[in-house]
Amino acid sequence: MEIIQGKQALYIDAPALDERLAGYDAVHMDIGTGDGRYVRHVAQTRPHCFAVGVDACRENLREVSRGAPENALFVIANAQRLPSELYGLAAQVTINFPWGSLLEGLLTGDTSLLASLAAVAAPHTELEVRLNGGALAEAGWSLEAGADRVRDVLIANGFAMRAPVMLAAHELRSLPTTWARRLAFGRDPRAVYLHGTRKVNSIVHAAPALEGAILA
Ligand SMILES: C[S@@+](CC[C@H](N)C(=O)[O-])C[C@H]1O[C@@H](n2cnc3c(N)ncnc32)[C@H](O)[C@@H]1O
């Protein structure tokens, strides 16, 4: 799989990744990591955890990956086709403020995305998804209906998800992601938090019946 370290793109295989992971208690994967700030925070605050940031866009990851801690790795990949080297590794997965095909895939129950998420998850993997009102509105959903829809899709695809929780601006401000801070100080700070775990031996069902989209 392709990883990035500053200006350099490198390829590492499963044995090389195993070596990097040796001695760590758990792997935390952040999908759609953007500039990787959240991954750096996880790596710095949880030294026994190995943090992996994944994003389709390499430009934003150059800076953070240049001085990345030992226990952090930045992978260039599309969430719909996560590299097989990552399969079965994640004890925790975060998706913070997705947009584009990542958000669309969560709303439509894109089979490739859900199969990819299922593939990287170990049994009982914890999943946290944070969605923001502006991105959902652009995708044609209200915050509440969009959150319910993503939750339904995840439930239909093997995750036991709790009820959505609205995030206040002060909660966004304290989240160590660049997008959270932008939202917190921006015009539309509405966001919602979904939290759950992967059920063991679950199957990917893709999209449940479509309900709740805003008819623009
Ligand atoms: C709004 S940014 C959020 C970045 C970061 N999570 C944060 O909170 O600051 C959304 C990110 O999702 C990434 N993204 C969108 N679709 C993706 C896909 N299919 N696969 C991987 N990354 C994707 C974008 O490149 C972008 O970096």
> Which residue's alpha carbon is nearest to atom 7 within ligand 1?
179
Q: How far apart are CA 69 and CA 41, in angstroms?
A: 10
pTM: 0.94
> Which residue's alpha carbon is nearest to atom 16 within ligand 1?
102
- Average pLDDT over every residue of 198-213: 64
Is the CB of 134 inside a 6 Å radius of any atom of ligand 1? no
| CA dist 171 → 1, 5, 112, 184, 191 (Å) | 35, 31, 32, 8, 10
Q: Where are the domains of the chain?
A: 27-42+79-198
With a cut of 60, say whether residue 31 has pLDDT above it: yes
pLDDT, tens digit (0-9, with 9 covering 90-100), for 129-172? 999 999 999 999 999 999 999 999 999 999 999 999 999 999 99
With a cut of 90, say whether residue 122 has pLDDT above it: no
Give me the pLDDT at residue 216, please: 30
pLDDT, tens digit (0-9, with 9 covering 90-100), for 73-104? 999 999 999 999 999 999 999 999 999 999 99
Ligand 1 atom nearest to CA at 94? 6
143: tokens are 């915050």
**What CATH superfamily is the domain 27-42+79-198?**
Vaccinia Virus protein VP39 (3.40.50.150)
Is the CB of 142 inside a 6 Å radius of any atom of ligand 1? no
With a cut of 50, say whether residue 203 has pLDDT above it: yes
Is the CB of 56 inside a 6 Å radius of any atom of ligand 1? yes
Ligand 1 atom nearest to CA at 178? 9
Question: How high is the mean pLDDT of the chain?
Answer: 93
Question: Residue 74, Cα to own-chain centre: how many angstroms?
Answer: 13
Is the CB of 110 inside a 6 Å radius of any atom of ligand 1? no
Distance, CA 75 to ligand 1 centroid (Å)? 12
With a cut of 70, say whether residue 211 has pLDDT above it: no
Distance, CA 191 to ligand 1 centroid (Å)? 16
Distance, CA 214 to ligand 1 centroid (Å)? 23
Is the CB of 111 inside a 6 Å radius of any atom of ligand 1? no
Place of tokens 């584009």: 100
Sign, Cα dihedral of 117, 118, 120, 125: positive
56: tokens are 């389709």
Does residue 79 contact residue 34 with C-beta atoms inside 8 Å? Answer: no
